[in-house]
Each structure stands twice: as structure tokens, then as C-alpha cells.
């Protein structure tokens, strides 16, 4: 499309190349404009169809009605077969230092270069309209619009995957999606077909540990790690290659919600993550991640006790540290969900010179799938011309035509070699930026098989479990007990117990207890049913060695960043007669540190403080719920406290906040409200600083002191120890 933007006509300055400027050419803004048909005819009446008389039949002649209804009839496209539910944002990426020793990718070689990105987060199993808080893996797909073309890092928030070979992907997805006879359950993995498949497929054991952990219940997309999962290659200008694993590290830390809370959020606000991302960006609290790489020299390919081509394995950070090489900031919400978020087409095969693939058999299959899926989803081969998918550099080749072609290719030649157009467009030498594949030596027989080096199915699952804090371990046990508890086929439950016993006997015993079952003795060679017709059981037996590392701190969320209350959502419960001075002091102090504070009152409109000042509540107890907040504060004020004490919703709010291990603060006078909760007996007897920070509850008259402690408690995120001895009522 010819540019309407005069800045772009002169081409090529760095700023002008940015994606935002490119997209502007396609943005339509109706402010002050006349209404027209799609063909530009001004419309006089958009309220009534053309009829034969006042009360007569509608005329087929009505081209305005027909155009409007026809377009409407075709508004939907197929949703993504996986990752259908997603939310996205624009941003920028900047590398910290020149990495040209490692890779010739230009966007990683110039710390002065700002590369536009578009990032889409998603759940995997649910459909487009499903809840954000399902227990699920999250997609973390980043499109870098570099000056050498698009690079897509299409990752997840977990560093490993369920299967080792692309051949199994349709089976996995059929098993996890709603069951085919009744289309239930929506977005959840807690059902027979999923666990049936998993219990026959021990290679999924490691990923199952991640999926049953708190990683599957992020507090926010902004508080998730991201992983490229596969081992890729970085290749420098000399043609030297290193293996690489990609990581995204969120600057706000990695945080989760409780499972009971997640289930409640799904009802109260199914758009919880979508809203959170949108609101943070609108408020200017731009989400940030550092890009990390683990670099493995070619010579070290066989140094590990697992195969680096196996996507069910991670490389522990203790063995290969993650170097933080750059920062990504998301700073702009899309203008239009469909045009941008829905039509974005990511592809793990979109790489730029300097980044290359490995033979990971899952990655190899993905290299086929992503273009193929866009052909059906976006309707033809020209989806690269959709504005959100266009690179910010010119595109020239001899590909032509197809549905919805936008480019008007001038000239007679659409082939090469050609003499009529002097061979234009020209191929590009490697030294001038032409893509060349890494010259990997391959000398092998053609076989359909799985490498024995992929058969250790349990040691990293065990490493993950052993690396968790006690509350995290309890959450995994609870998650498995819940999920398998929803499975109707007892044989599937039992088989899963045998799989869990290979990971950790204690874990299996706890889940077996919850299910009221015994752990069956299934020998290792009978656990794996994912084998070919002629395969011999012993050849496909899982291995289960001890593993080199007892623990890896980086796998636990317990030690994550806990130094900020930025963007945390805090509720202040208030009614008429509230101590307005204390309320404002706490609110102002929290907001000054970047928290989002909402006053919640029995009704909307106005709340009058004891100082006779008007406070406009953000929500009422009807519209708000504690699961939508990170912490809660109850100011004093005789009348307010009396009202709240009698307000069942306020007491419920506090009970739930306690149950979900959140920070709770109250003025001394508001103790009366806390006394109506079920947990008041559990309140720490003496409010030493240490007790307060351990328990996450502070009741103090001194507002300044209270604010200081409350902030530290909010930054700590959750007080999971409160769940002990796991007897918190609903
Ligand atoms: Fe995907 N995956 N995938 N996947 N994937 C898709 O492409 C596929 C895998 C991931 O926000 C689809 O455009 C196969 C691993 C993300 O638009 C499809 C295999 C990882 C997204 C597809 C995998 C991912 C997708 C569906 C096994 C993490 C959403 C719609 C061989 C590293 C991207 C689409 C977005 C989407 C195929 C495994 C991540 C069908 C065949 C492993 C984040 O092409």
C-alpha cells in the first residue's frame, strides 16, 4: 500500500521505520467523518431498510442493507486451534551490549537500536471467550520487527513441554481440549481424556509438575517468566554457532494466585489478565522483562546428563547461568483487538540471520505448523500483508496473487532468473545480510524413532518438585488431588499415581491419600505406552536415574523479586463516618509507590467521612470482590466500623483475603470488624514487626507505622504459610 504518511516517503530513518508509524497508515479514525458504504457512497439513513411502503416487505434492491448484513455474516474467523484466548500489546526491545561475537543478528548487536515488538500472551486450551484464570500453560509470543525482517520468539511461561516429538501434538491437544462428545470441560485440564493420555505418556511427567504448580495460575501476564523452550542456535558473522536457550525475566517478579482464588476470579472477572495488562499500560505502568540467554558452546553438546535437543528438559541455571542481555517494555495497547491481536500470525520459523534452529523434533514439526495454520485461520497466503504482520522493511520477491492480495506488483517479471528486469529483485550475499542456514553436518540413516537419549522421563520432574518451597509443594499435591479427583475413570487415576511414584514417593502417597487409592506397582517398562506397533516394551522403557542436581533455586517462585508494590491492587473498605484522614494518608502513600488503590463502600455515589468530607468510592461491595485485589486495609471511624461489622460482604471480603494469604491492615478501631471474621482468633497475639511480617496482618493506631509495614507486606505478595495446617474454610 502506498504510504499516506509523508514522513515515510523519504524512507529509511530509524524512527520512521518503527512499527507504530507503519501501522498509522492503516488506522481509520471516524471522528468527525461522514458515514459511507464500503465503496465510499455517503449514507443517509442507517436506521431503516428500504421497504415497499411504510409497512411493506424489504426490497432486495437495498444494497446498503445487503452490504451491512453480508459483512456482519462474515465477521468471524476460526479461532486458533490452541492459544485461542489471548491479549497483546506493542512495545520496544533494546539490547544492553553488542552481542556480535555470538550472533550476527543486527538487533542484538547495537545497544542504540530500539526494535519494535508486538507481544501476545495466551492460555492454551480454552476457546477465545474462555476465562483467563484456567489452570493452564500461558503462551508468551514476541514478534520483533527488526531491520533485517521479523523474528518471532514463540514461547510459553514454562521452560519445557508435554511431548518430545511433533507427531504427538494433535493427540495431546485432542486429549486436553473439551471432550468431543459433550464439549466439556471448557479451558480446564481436569478431565478423563487429558489424564488418560498423560498417564500413558511418561515423557510429560516434567511438564505436568510445572502445569500443576503455581506457574499455571499467574497473578498477571506482567508477572510471568517466558521461555523459548527449545534449544536454538546463535550464529556469528564467522559462521560459528553456539546453542542457546531464551528466557524472559519479569522485572516485577514471578507471582501467582491461589487455586481457590483463580476459580473465583473466573466468575467475578473472566478478563482478569486481559484487564490487568490493558489497565497497567493505560496507566503508564509499562510492563518490563529482561531477555536472558543461556549459551552452550557446540563442544558442550553432550556434556549434560540429558539431551539438549529434548524439549522436556531444561538446562538448570546452576549449570549454565542466564545472562541478561536486553530489556523489553510494553508501552502501547492495540487500537483494535481483531485487526492486531487476533490477526497476528506468529511463527517459530520467522528468524533473522544470526538465529537458527536445532534438530529438536518438536521444533522441527512446529516449523511446518505455523504457516499452515494461518492459511486456514487467516484465509490465504497473503496474511503477511496484514498490517500487524508486515515487517518494517520492504518485501520483494516473485510470489504473487492469492486471496486478498494487497500489494500491486509492478512490471512483467515474476520469476527468476530473468533478463527482462535485470534479475530484480536480487538475491543478497551472506556478507550483505542474506540469510544462510547453519552448515550443520548430518550423516545418518533415515529412521522413524525416538533417541534413547530422550528416555529419562522423571529426573527433571523430581528436580522441579524438590526445588519447590513447602507451600509450593503443597499446591502441587492439592492441584493433582483436585485434577485427578475430577477424573471419573479410576484406572486412569491409579496409573497416574504410578507415574507420580516415579517422581517422588511422598508426593504420590499424598495424592493417593486424597483420592482414597493405593499406588499400583507398575514397572518402568510398562509405564510408557507411547510406542510404535512393532516396538518392544523394553526398548521404550522410561529411564529414571537420580539426576545430578538435588535442587535448583531458579525453579521455585519463592525467591522471586519482592521489593515493589508497583501496580498491586489494594482495597480500602469504608462506610459513612470513616476516618478520612487515615484513609487518605494510607491511600496517598500506597499510590505514591505505584499501587492502584480502590475505595470499596456499601454503595456507589458518595461516602461521607467523619471529618464530613466526600469520598467517591470506586466500587461497591456488590461490584467488587477480594479475589480481584492483592491486599486490604480497613480504616477506623466509629460509624464506618459499625456499618462494616454488620455488612456480611465486608466480613466475607476479609475472610477471603485471609484465606488467599493476602496482606491485611486495619486501624486499631477497626479491630471490631476483624473480630467478626473467622480468623480473628488466629491473629498474632503481639504485633511485633516480625510477627506482622510473617503473618501478613497488621492492626495499629499509628498510621505512619501501619503504612510502612503494610507496604512491606504487599511487596511480599502472599503469606502462604498461613495455609498451614491447611484448614482454612471456604
Ligand atoms: Fe504452538 N501452535 N505448537 N507451541 N504455540 C500455535 O499457531 C504447534 C508449542 C505457542 O499468540 C498455533 O497461530 C505444534 C510449543 C504459542 O498467536 C499452531 C507444536 C510452544 C502460540 C501451533 C506446538 C508453543 C502457539 C495455533 C508441537 C512453546 C500462540 C495458532 C510440535 C515453545 C501464538 C497459531 C499466538 C500457537 C502448533 C508446540 C507456543 C497450530 C504443532 C512447544 C505461544 O500452529
Ligand 1 atom nearest residue 227's Cα: 32
d(CA 461, CA 474): 16
**What SS3 state is found at 445?**
coil
Taking CA atoms only, the protein residue closest to ligand 1 atom 44 is 370
The rounded Å distance from CA 346 to ligand 1 centre is 8
Which member of 150, 156, 157, 264 is catalytic? 156
The answer to whether the peptide bond before residue 99 is cis (omega within 30 degrees of 0) is: no
d(CA 508, CA 514): 10
**What SS3 state is found at 342?**
helix
Taking CA atoms only, the protein residue closest to ligand 1 atom 8 is 366
The rounded Å distance from CA 370 to ligand 1 centre is 7
Interhelix angle 580-592/703-715, rounded to 10 degrees, is 40
Average pLDDT on 358-364 reads: 98
- Assess whether pLDDT exceeds 70 at residue 4: no
List helix spans (H) across 102-227. Answer: 169-176, 192-200, 205-211
Per-residue pLDDT at 726: 53
Taking CA atoms only, the protein residue closest to ligand 1 atom 38 is 366
- Assess whether pLDDT exceeds 70 at residue 10: no
Count Cβ atoms within 10 A of the Cβ of residue 370 and give its class: 0-12 exposed, 13-18 middle, 19 or more buried: middle
Interhelix angle 490-503/192-200, rounded to 10 degrees, is 40
Assess whether the C-beta atom of 155 lies below 6 angstroms from ligand 1.
yes
Average pLDDT on 487-511 reads: 98
Count Cβ atoms within 10 A of the Cβ of residue 545 and give its class: 0-12 exposed, 13-18 middle, 19 or more buried: exposed
Per-residue pLDDT at 683: 76
Ligand 1 atom nearest residue 169's Cα: 27
* Least reliable range by pLDDT among 6-15, 340-349, 602-611: 6-15
DSSP 311-336: TT----TTTSPPEEEEEEEEEE--S-
The answer to whether the peptide bond before residue 725 is cis (omega within 30 degrees of 0) is: yes
Question: Which amino acids are annotated as binding site for heme, given as ranges?
Answer: 80, 120, 169, 366, 370, 377
Does residue 340 contact residue 22 with C-beta atoms inside 8 Å? no
Taking CA atoms only, the protein residue closest to ligand 1 atom 32 is 155
Per-residue pLDDT at 208: 98
- Assess whether pLDDT exceeds 50 at residue 3: no
C-alpha cell at 701: 493506631
d(CA 418, CA 412): 10
Per-residue pLDDT at 15: 62
Question: Which amino acids are annotated as binding site, given as ranges?
Answer: 80, 120, 169, 366, 370, 377
Does residue 88 contact residue 120 with C-beta atoms inside 8 Å? yes
Contacts of residue 597, Cβ cutoff 8 Å, sequence gap at least 6: 569, 570, 571, 572, 587, 590, 591
Ligand 1 atom nearest residue 344's Cα: 17
Count Cβ atoms within 10 A of the Cβ of residue 593 and give its class: 0-12 exposed, 13-18 middle, 19 or more buried: middle
* Least reliable range by pLDDT among 321-330, 410-419, 542-551, 572-581: 542-551
d(CA 236, CA 240): 6
Q: Which of 125, 164, 366 to mutate to test the pocket of ligand 1 (most atoms within 8 A of CB)?
A: 366
Which member of 83, 230, 660, 717 is catalytic? 83
d(CA 427, CA 420): 16
Assess whether the C-beta atom of 139 lies below 6 angstroms from ligand 1.
yes
The rounded Å distance from CA 141 to ligand 1 centre is 9
Assess whether the C-beta atom of 154 lies below 6 angstroms from ligand 1.
yes
Per-residue pLDDT at 376: 97
Domains of the chain, with CATH numbers?
A: 86-389 (2.40.180.10), 464-555 (1.20.1370.20), 569-723 (3.40.50.880)
Q: Is the dihedral of CA 209, 211, 217, 222 positive or negative?
A: positive
Average pLDDT over the chain reads 95
Q: Which of 78, 79, 81, 83 to mutate to test the pocket of ligand 1 (most atoms within 8 A of CB)?
A: 83
The answer to whether the peptide bond before residue 425 is cis (omega within 30 degrees of 0) is: yes
pTM: 0.96
Ligand 1 atom nearest residue 154's Cα: 43
Assess whether the C-beta atom of 362 lies below 6 angstroms from ligand 1.
yes
Does residue 481 contact residue 512 with C-beta atoms inside 8 Å? no
Assess whether the C-beta atom of 81 lies below 6 angstroms from ligand 1.
yes
Burial of 597-628, coded b for 16+ CB within 10 Å and e otherwise, reads: bebbbbeeeebbbbeeeebebbbebeebbbbb
Average pLDDT on 26-43 reads: 96
Would you place residue 12 in the very low, low, confident or very high pLDDT band (cuts 50, 70, 90)? Answer: very low
The rounded Å distance from CA 658 to ligand 1 centre is 38
Assess whether the C-beta atom of 353 lies below 6 angstroms from ligand 1.
no
Assess whether the C-beta atom of 346 lies below 6 angstroms from ligand 1.
yes
d(CA 154, CA 350): 10
The answer to whether the peptide bond before residue 501 is cis (omega within 30 degrees of 0) is: no
C-alpha cell at 169: 501434538
Helix (H) or strand (E) holding 348: none
Assess whether the C-beta atom of 388 lies below 6 angstroms from ligand 1.
no
Which of 204, 207, 199, 211 minimizes the C-alpha distance to 496?
A: 199
Reading phi first (left if > 0) and then psi (alpha if -120 to 50, else beta), residue 314 is in beta
Would you place residue 2 in the very low, low, confident or very high pLDDT band (cuts 50, 70, 90)? Answer: very low
Does residue 653 contact residue 621 with C-beta atoms inside 8 Å? yes
Taking CA atoms only, the protein residue closest to ligand 1 atom 28 is 155
| pLDDT 10s digits, 223-242 | 999 999 999 999 999 999 99
Taking CA atoms only, the protein residue closest to ligand 1 atom 14 is 366
d(CA 601, CA 620): 5
Reading phi first (left if > 0) and then psi (alpha if -120 to 50, else beta), residue 265 is in alpha
Ligand 1 atom nearest residue 368's Cα: 41
d(CA 338, CA 343): 6
Average pLDDT on 317-342 reads: 98
Contacts of residue 723, Cβ cutoff 8 Å, sequence gap at least 6: 471, 474, 661
- Assess whether pLDDT exceeds 80 at residue 488: yes
174 is catalytic: no
Does residue 702 contact residue 683 with C-beta atoms inside 8 Å? no
| pLDDT 10s digits, 248-300 | 999 999 999 999 999 999 999 999 999 999 999 999 999 999 999 999 999 99
| pLDDT 10s digits, 412-471 | 999 999 999 999 999 999 999 999 999 999 999 999 999 999 999 999 999 999 999 999
Task: Please give the C-alpha separations between residue 559 and each of 131, 328, 663, in angstroms, as whole numbers.
Answer: 29, 22, 18
d(CA 142, CA 151): 8
Does residue 387 contact residue 334 with C-beta atoms inside 8 Å? no
Per-residue pLDDT at 8: 44
Assess whether the C-beta atom of 161 lies below 6 angstroms from ligand 1.
yes
The rounded Å distance from CA 138 to ligand 1 centre is 11
- Assess whether pLDDT exceeds 80 at residue 14: no
Assess whether the C-beta atom of 578 lies below 6 angstroms from ligand 1.
no
Contacts 24+ apart (CB under 8 A), 491-497: 492/192, 492/195, 492/196, 492/199, 493/195, 493/517, 494/519, 494/520, 495/199, 495/200, 495/520, 495/522, 496/195, 496/198, 496/199
Per-residue pLDDT at 348: 98
The rounded Å distance from CA 81 to ligand 1 centre is 9
* Least reliable range by pLDDT among 10-14, 564-568, 653-657, 659-663: 10-14
**What SS3 state is found at 280?**
helix
Per-residue pLDDT at 68: 96
Assess whether the C-beta atom of 185 lies below 6 angstroms from ligand 1.
no
Ligand 1 atom nearest residue 370's Cα: 44
Would you place residue 685 in the very low, low, confident or very high pLDDT band (cuts 50, 70, 90)? Answer: confident
336 is catalytic: no
Which of 728, 570, 575, 573 minimizes the C-alpha distance to 655?
A: 728
Task: Please give the C-alpha separations between residue 323 and each of 95, 114, 294, in angstroms, as whole numbers.
Answer: 12, 20, 6
Per-residue pLDDT at 729: 57
What percentage of the chain has pLDDT greater than the value 70? 97
Per-residue pLDDT at 681: 80
| pLDDT 10s digits, 68-118 | 999 999 999 999 999 999 999 999 999 999 999 999 999 999 999 999 999
Torsion of CA 355, 361, 362, 364, to 10 degrees: 50
Assess whether the C-beta atom of 80 lies below 6 angstroms from ligand 1.
yes
Ligand 1 atom nearest residue 228's Cα: 32
Assess whether the C-beta atom of 366 lies below 6 angstroms from ligand 1.
yes
Per-residue pLDDT at 725: 54
Strand partners, 121: 87, 140
Per-residue 3-state assignment (H helix, E strand, C coil) for 543-606: ECCCCCCCCCHHHCCCCCCCCCCCCCEEEEECCCCCCHHHHHHHHHHHHHCCCEEEEEECCCCC
Burial of 429-442, coded b for 16+ CB within 10 Å and e otherwise, reads: eeeeeeeeeeeeee
Amino acid at each position: 500500500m502506498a504510504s499516506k504518511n509523508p514522513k515515510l516517503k523519504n524512507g529509511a530513518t530509524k524512527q520512521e521505520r518503527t512499527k507504530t508509524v507503519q501501522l498509522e497508515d492503516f488506522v481509520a479514525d471516524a471522528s468527525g467523518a461522514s458515514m459511507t458504504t464500503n465503496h465510499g457512497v455517503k449514507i443517509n439513513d442507517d436506521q431503516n431498510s428500504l421497504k415497499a411502503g411504510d409497512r411493506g416487505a424489504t426490497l432486495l434492491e437495498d444494497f446498503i442493507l445487503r452490504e451491512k448484513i453480508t459483512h456482519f455474516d462474515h465477521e468471524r474467523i476460526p479461532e486458533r486451534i490452541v492459544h485461542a484466548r489471548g491479549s497483546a500489546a506493542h512495545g520496544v526491545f533494546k539490547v544492553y551490549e553488542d552481542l556480535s561475537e555470538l550472533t550476527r543478528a543486527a538487533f542484538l548487536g547495537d545497544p542504540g537500536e530500539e526494535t519494535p515488538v508486538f507481544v501476545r500472551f495466551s492460555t492454551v486450551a480454552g476457546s477465545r471467550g474462555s476465562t483467563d484464570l484456567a489452570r493452564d500453560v500461558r503462551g508468551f509470543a514476541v514478534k520483533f520487527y527488526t531491520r533485517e525482517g521479523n523474528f518471532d520468539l514463540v514461547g510459553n511461561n514454562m521452560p519445557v513441554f508435554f511431548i518430545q516429538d511433533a507427531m504427538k501434538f494433535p493427540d495431546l491437544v485432542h486429549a486436553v481440549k473439551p471432550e468431543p462428545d459433550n464439549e466439556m470441560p471448557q479451558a480446564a485440564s481436569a478431565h478423563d481424556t487429558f489424564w488418560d493420555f498423560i498417564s500413558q505418556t511418561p515423557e510429560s511427567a516434567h511438564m505436568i509438575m510445572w502445569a500443576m504448580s503455581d506457574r499455571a495460575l499467574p497473578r498477571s501476564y506482567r508477572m510471568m517468566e517466558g521461555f523459548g523452550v527449545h534449544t536454538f542456535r546463535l550464529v556469528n558473522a564467522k559462521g560459528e554457532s553456539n546453542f542457546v536457550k531464551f528466557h524472559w525475566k519479569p522485572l516485577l517478579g514471578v507471582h501467582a494466585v491461589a487455586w481457590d482464588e483463580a476459580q473465583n476470579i473466573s466468575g467475578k472477572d473472566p478478563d482478569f489478565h486481559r484487564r490487568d495488562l490493558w489497565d497497567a499500560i493505560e496507566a503508564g505502568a509499562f510492563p518490563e522483562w529482561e531477555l536472558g540467554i543461556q549459551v552452550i558452546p557446540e563442544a558442550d553438546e553432550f556434556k549434560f546428563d540429558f539431551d539438549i535437543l529434548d524439549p522436556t528438559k531444561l538446562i538448570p541455571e546452576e549449570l549454565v547461568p542466564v545472562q541478561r542481555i536486553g530489556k523489553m517494555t510494553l508501552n502501547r495497547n492495540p487500537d483494535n483487538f481483531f485487526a492486531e491481536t487476533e490477526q497476528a500470525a506468529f511463527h517459530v520459523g520467522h528468524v533473522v540471520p544470526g538465529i537458527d534452529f536445532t534438530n529438536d523434533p518438536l521444533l522441527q514439526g512446529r516449523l511446518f505448523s505455523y504457516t499452515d495454520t494461518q492459511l486456514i485461520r487467516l484465509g490465504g497466503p497473503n496474511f503477511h500483508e496484514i498490517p500487524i504482520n508486515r515487517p518494517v522493511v520492504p518485501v520483494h520477491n516473485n510470489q504473487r496473487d492469492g486471496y486478498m492480495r494487497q500489494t500491486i506488483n509492478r512490471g512483467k517479471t515474476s520469476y527468476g532468473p530473468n533478463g527482462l528486469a535485470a534479475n530484480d529483485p536480487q538475491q543478497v550475499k551472506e556478507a550483505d545480510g542474506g540469510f544462510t542456514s547453519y552448515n550443520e553436518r548430518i550423516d545418518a540413516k533415515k529412521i522413524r524413532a525416538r533417541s534413547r537419549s530422550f528416555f529419562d522421563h522423571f529426573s527433571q520432574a523430581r528436580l522441579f518438585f524438590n526445588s519447590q518451597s513447602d507451600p509450593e509443594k503443597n499446591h502441587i499435591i492439592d492441584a493433582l488431588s483436585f485434577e485427578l479427583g475430577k477424573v471419573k475413570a479410576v484406572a486412569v487415576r491409579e496409573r497416574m499415581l504410578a507415574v507420580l511414584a516415579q517422581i517422588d514417593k511422598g508426593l504420590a502417597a499424598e495424592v493417593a491419600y486424597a483420592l482414597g487409592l493405593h499406588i499400583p506397582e507398575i514397572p518402568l517398562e510398562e509405564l510408557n505406552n507411547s510406542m510404535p506397533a512393532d516396538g518392544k516394551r523394553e526398548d521404550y522403557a522410561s529411564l529414571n536415574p537420580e539426576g545430578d542436581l538435588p535442587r535448583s533455586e531458579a525453579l521455585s517462585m519463592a525467591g522471586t523479586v519482592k521489593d515493589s508494590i508497583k501496580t498491586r491492587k489494594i482495597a480500602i473498605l469504608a462506610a459513612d463516618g470513616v476516618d478520612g484522614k487515615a484513609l487518605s494518608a494510607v491511600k496517598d502513600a500506597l499510590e505514591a509507590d505505584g499501587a492502584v488503590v480502590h475505595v470499596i463502600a456499601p454503595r456507589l455515589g458518595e461516602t461521607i467521612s467523619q471529618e464530613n468530607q466526600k469520598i467517591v468510592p470506586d466500587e461497591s461491595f456488590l461490584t467488587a470482590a477480594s479475589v480481584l485485589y492483592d491486599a486490604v486495609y480497613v480504616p477506623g471511624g466509629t460509624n464506618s466500623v459499625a456499618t462494616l461489622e454488620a455488612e456480611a460482604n465486608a466480613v466475607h471480603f476479609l475472610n477471603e483475603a485471609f484465606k488467599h494469604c493476602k496482606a491485611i491492615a486495619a486501624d486499631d478501631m477497626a479491630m471490631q470488624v476483624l473480630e467478626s471474621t473467622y480468623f480473628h482468633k488466629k491473629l498474632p497475639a503481639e504485633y511485633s514487626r516480625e510477627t506482622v511480617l510473617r503473618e501478613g496482618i497488621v492492626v495499629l493506631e499509628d498510621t505512619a507505622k501501619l503504612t510502612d509495614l503494610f507496604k512491606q507486606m504487599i511487596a511480599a505478595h502472599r503469606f502462604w504459610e498461613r495455609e498451614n495446617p491447611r484448614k482454612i474454610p471456604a
